[in-house]
Amino acid sequence: MALTVSEVAKLGQLARIELSDEELARLAPQLEVILESMARVSTLDTTDVPPTSHPEPLTNVFRADVLEPSLTIDQALGMAPATEDDRFRVPRILGEEA
């Protein structure tokens, strides 16, 4: 069953993607190949394959959380273009109220 151009147009509409006629004609056969590949994968016998989230075991790569000395407020704010109440002062965005 081939994927039609009108079906691809409907998918584009659902995804809120505006597609030209050329794009629809090009995408229909490409998406058909993807769907056929997925159908082939779903026919594989995976009864002896354990469910996994990763093909390789994961190890923790994070370092230990060690408390270390940090900058003082004056050092951190020392080169800031503007400060207010020991904080960086930045321009208001998105019309927020003060």
Tokens of 53: 């989230």
From CA 69, how far away is CA 59, in angstroms rounded? 28
Distance CA 22, CA 19 (A): 8
The whole-angstrom separation of Cα 24 and Cα 46 is 35
pTM for the predicted model, two decimal places: 0.47
Lookup result for tokens 């003082």 = 72
CA–CA separation, 30 and 25 (whole Å): 9
Instruction: List per-residue pLDDT tens for the chain, 98 residues long.
Output: 678 999 999 999 999 999 999 999 999 999 999 999 999 988 999 899 888 888 888 787 788 889 999 999 999 999 999 999 999 999 888 766 65
